[in-house]
Amino acid sequence: MIRMEDAIVQKFSLPALLKESLGAHLGWGRQWGSADLKSSYDAVIVGGGGHGLATAYYMAKEHGIRKIAVIERGWLGGGNSGRNTTIVRSNYLYDESAAIFEHSLKLWEGLSQELNYNVMFSQRGVLMLAHNEHDRQSFKRHVYANRLNGIDNEWLTPEEAKQFCPQLDLSPGKRYPVVGAALQRRAGTARHDAVNWGFARAASALGVDIIQNCEVLGLERDAFGAVCGLNTTRGKVATTKVGVSVAGHTPQLMSLFGVKVPLESQPLQALVSEPLKPAFPTVVMSNAVHAYISQSDKGELVIGAGTDQYVSYSQQGGLHIPIHTLDAICELFPIFTRVKMMRSWGGITDNTVDRSPIQGVTPIPGLYINCGWGTGGFKATPGSGHLFAHCVAKGEPHPISRPFSLDRFRTGRLIDEAAAAAVAH
Ligand SMILES: Cc1cc2nc3c(=O)[nH]c(=O)nc-3n(C[C@H](O)[C@H](O)[C@H](O)COP(=O)(O)OP(=O)(O)OC[C@H]3O[C@@H](n4cnc5c(N)ncnc54)[C@H](O)[C@@H]3O)c2cc1C
């Protein structure tokens, strides 16, 4: 096993690239170390998805806490962070949501430089299609609300939308006519694996222990009820701070810790086509038909839909969902009717009743929670990690994430993006 101390974290630069080109690229070292679990840490982050890794990175970088472990039961990014359709945007309706997602979008804009790792963030825009009067009014409301919050979003006529995305079919008599669209130009996509690996590499370089194939099984508490350690499949570890970032597994893990969380875990599916030459310039979402599409840098059309309507912990879903989605995609884009689909998969999303995340303290001192990002947390990866790092390090939520407390389900101060948008990818 390679120990942390042995990890070589080389800086990626033009001179390094030139040097390695001459040496057949055999000189690149490992990107992050694989550590053994130590007997104690200042803080432990449970879950090696993008959120957990980003949290550890910002805790080490901005709060100077270096004795941190990220404990992952499988492999890094094996959860939703490596299974999503990579849409990044910040055009949410409510002030609280706009603030948290815009905080993240701003971090995305400098993330490749920050991590010295190309996360392939592409601001190709996200176009949200309106098909009826309700959509039109709702998206215009989003546009105005976003602008008041200093977030870019603009309303396009059908012709302007087609100019931006020439593949749109505006012919008359369509089942889902395009009556306009909201466009966030700064939105787009990123490469999900690169985001996980970039954060892992940067955290590892700051001394964070990344421990894969190790499952957290229980919580140890002291005489005052505060966190004093964790039980794992590799034994006990002492710590006074635990940050939980396990997405769809949150209800299971938190019930082992004795804390109830108002979440439902549901499968969400995605699928990709055979690779095509560049054919699609942007991300298009249609909430009314519940389908969205973009093209990856490899050329595959990346297509997603809504969640299955039942609770499940299997990383797959019902066939009727992708079939309905493909019907809708073919209806919207007849140009793709004969394209073959190559792969489909599912992830377990953690959904709250208001479709807004939960981040903050729990009734157990020293135990912090980050979850409920559901179908839309990839876009939040850097922002959520940045804010959760503050929470775990300081013991209290960052002002931006304060409205997203667990307590809101008791006080009733919900942030109802579910009613506002009906979709949250
Ligand atoms: C098909 C699909 C499409 C999506 N599309 C988008 C999109 O376009 N845009 C967007 O913004 N979001 C999207 N999402 C949502 C997004 O992927 C998630 O919100 C986000 O990736 C959550 O990141 P995470 O790090 O919290 O969770 P995860 O990446 O799921 O990481 C949690 C980790 O915790 C680990 N774990 C669980 N239990 C334990 C335990 N007991 N001990 C140790 N480790 C444990 C798991 O193995 C997992 O690796 C999509 C999700 C899916 C499934």
Are residue 204 and residue 317 in the same domain, yes or no? Answer: no
Are residue 324 and residue 235 in the same domain, yes or no? Answer: no
Are residue 365 and residue 347 in the same domain, yes or no? Answer: no
Question: What is the rounded average pLDDT of the residues 265-283?
Answer: 96
Quick check: is 248 in a domain?
Answer: yes
Ligand 1 atom with the smallest distance to the CA of 349 is 53
Does the beta carbon of 207 lie inside 6 Å of ligand 1?
no
**Cα Rg of the chain, angstroms:** 22
Are residue 370 and residue 341 in the same domain, yes or no? Answer: no
Are residue 214 and residue 346 in the same domain, yes or no? Answer: no
- From the CB of residue 255, how many other CB atoms can be counted at a distance below 10 Å? 11
Instruction: Using most ligand atoms within 8 A of CB, pick from 70, 84, 265 the residue to mutate for ligand 1.
Output: 84
| CA–CA gap between residue 107 and residue 268 (Å, rounded) | 26
For residue 34, the model assigns a pLDDT of 81
**β 126-130/68-71 pair status:** unpaired
Ligand 1 atom with the smallest distance to the CA of 253 is 41
Distance 11 CA to ligand 1 centre (A): 28
Are residue 305 and residue 336 in the same domain, yes or no? Answer: yes
Quick check: is 33 in a domain?
Answer: no
- pLDDT tens-digit readout, 204-216: 999 999 999 999 9
For residue 3, the model assigns a pLDDT of 41
Quick check: is 109 in a domain?
Answer: no
- pLDDT tens-digit readout, 51-110: 999 999 999 999 999 899 999 999 999 999 999 999 999 999 999 999 999 999 999 999
Indicate the helix (H) or strand (E) that contains 418. Answer: helix 417-421
Task: Annotate 256-299 with DSSP letters as a single string.
Answer: HHT-----EEEEEEEEEEEE-SS---SEEEETTTTEEEEE-TTS
Are residue 183 and residue 268 in the same domain, yes or no? Answer: yes
Residue that is last in its domain, among 299, 326, 351: 351
Does the beta carbon of 379 lie inside 6 Å of ligand 1?
yes
**What CATH number does the domain containing 231 carry?**
3.50.50.60
Question: What is the rounded average pLDDT of the residues 251-257?
Answer: 97
The mean predicted confidence, pLDDT, of the chain is 94
> CA torsion angle for 74, 77, 82, 83 (degrees, to 10)?
40
Does the beta carbon of 80 lie inside 6 Å of ligand 1?
yes
Quick check: is 221 in a domain?
Answer: yes
Distance 235 CA to ligand 1 centre (A): 25
Nearest to residue 333, comparing CAs of 289, 366, 364?
289
Question: What is the rounded average pLDDT of the residues 125-131?
Answer: 96
Quick check: is 6 in a domain?
Answer: no
Nearest CA to ligand 1 atom 21: 81
pLDDT above 70 covers a percentage of the chain that reads: 96
Quick check: is 276 in a domain?
Answer: yes
Are residue 144 and residue 181 in the same domain, yes or no? Answer: yes
Residue that is last in its domain, among 336, 351, 366: 351
Instruction: Using most ligand atoms within 8 A of CB, pick from 375, 379, 417 the residue to mutate for ligand 1.
Output: 375
Nearest CA to ligand 1 atom 13: 376
Distance 247 CA to ligand 1 centre (A): 5
Residue where the block lists tokens 């995340």: 357
Are residue 268 and residue 179 in the same domain, yes or no? Answer: yes
Partner residues linked to 121 by β-bridges: none
Is the pLDDT reported for residue 263 higher than 90? Answer: yes
Ligand 1 atom with the smallest distance to the CA of 214 is 43
Length, in residues, of the chain: 425
Question: What is the rounded average pLDDT of the residues 113-117?
Answer: 97
Quick check: is 360 in a domain?
Answer: yes
What tokens does 44 get? 């432990």
Are residue 322 and residue 339 in the same domain, yes or no? Answer: yes
Residue that is last in its domain, among 308, 329, 351: 351
Ligand 1 atom with the smallest distance to the CA of 215 is 42
- The boundaries of the domain holding residue 221 are 38-84+192-263+354-421
Are residue 126 and residue 258 in the same domain, yes or no? Answer: no
Are residue 402 and residue 256 in the same domain, yes or no? Answer: yes
Quick check: is 31 in a domain?
Answer: no
Does the beta carbon of 79 lie inside 6 Å of ligand 1?
yes
Nearest CA to ligand 1 atom 48: 79
Does the beta carbon of 360 lie inside 6 Å of ligand 1?
no
Query: In the chain, how many domains are there?
Result: 2
**What CATH number does the domain containing 297 carry?**
3.30.9.10
Distance 4 CA to ligand 1 centre (A): 25
Ligand 1 atom with the smallest distance to the CA of 51 is 25
- pLDDT tens-digit readout, 170-193: 998 888 999 999 999 999 999 999
